[in-house]
Amino acid sequence: MHELSIAQSILDIIMEEMRKHNVERIASVRLKIGEMSAVVPESLTFCWSIVTKDTPAEGSRLDIVSLPIQAKCISCGNVFIVENYVYVCPDCGSGDLAILSGKELQIQDFETPDM
C-alpha cells in the first residue's frame, strides 16, 4: 500500500509549512490527484488518519480533488478528456497523444481551525 508512504510524505511537507508559518494545528489539507497517479483516495484518507495520530494534524481531513486525464492529439490538435483509459483521439482516431494532465499529486493548500 504505497498510500501510507504518500500520506507520510504529505504530512512531512505540511508539518514543515506549519513550522514556517507558526501554525499549531490544521483542520484540512486540499490535494489535487490525477486519475493516472495510481492513488486510491479512500486508502490515502485511511492512511492519513494513521500517520496524523498524535500530531498537530490529528483529526484533520483530506479534501481530494480528482483530476481527469486530459490529452492533446498530435495529429489534429484536439484537446479532450480520456475516458475509460482509451488513448485514442475521438475526432481523428489517432493514438499519437500528449498527456496534458492526470498525473498530478499536489498539495494545493491547508486550513487551520481558525480559517
pLDDT per residue rounded down to tens, the chain (115 residues): 599 999 999 999 999 999 999 999 999 999 999 999 999 999 999 999 999 999 999 999 999 999 999 999 999 999 999 999 999 999 999 999 999 999 999 999 999 986 5
For the domain that residue 17 is a member of, what is the CATH number? Answer: 3.30.2320.50
- Domain assignment of residue 15, yes or no: yes
Task: Look up residue 27 and give its three cell numbers.
Answer: 483542520
Amino acid occupying residue 83: E
- Domain assignment of residue 49, yes or no: yes
Amino acid occupying residue 5: S
The boundaries of the domain holding residue 17 are 3-68+103-111
Report angle CA 15, 19, 25 to the nearest 5 degrees: 65
Domain count, the chain: 1
- Domain assignment of residue 40, yes or no: yes
- Domain assignment of residue 97, yes or no: no
- Domain assignment of residue 21, yes or no: yes
- Domain assignment of residue 73, yes or no: no
pLDDT in tens, 50-70: 999 999 999 999 999 999 999
- Domain assignment of residue 17, yes or no: yes
- Domain assignment of residue 33, yes or no: yes
